[in-house]
Amino acid sequence: MLREKLKRELDKLSEQQLKQIADFIAFIEFKAEQITLSAPFWQRVTPIERAKEFREWISQLPKNSPSLPNEAFNRDSIYD
């Protein structure tokens, strides 16, 4: 119903008015894209894409960095 009414109204408009409407729609689409891109990475991608990005980040870490000493894995070392 609304779609048909809008189509009838659009048919009555001049080319200049239609151009203004087209510009307005383009502006709304641009703003919607900006909002989407301003969301944090983890909110705008799928879990698979997040996992892929995490694996890529892990692969860039140094491979020969020292590990924690064995005492760090022992609960007794926390308490004196």
Domain that holds residue 13: 2-61
pLDDT given for residue 80 in this prediction: 64
Answer positive or negative: Cα dihedral of 40, 46, 51, 56. Answer: negative
Least confident among 1-5, 48-52, 69-73 = 69-73
Look at the chain and report how many structural domains it folds into. Answer: 1
Of 4, 59, 66, the closest CA to residue 51 belongs to: 59
Residue 77 domain flag: no
Q: Is residue 76 part of a domain?
A: no
In a domain, 15, yes or no: yes
Q: Is 12 inside a domain boundary? A: yes
pLDDT, tens only, 23-54: 999 999 999 888 877 888 888 889 999 999 99
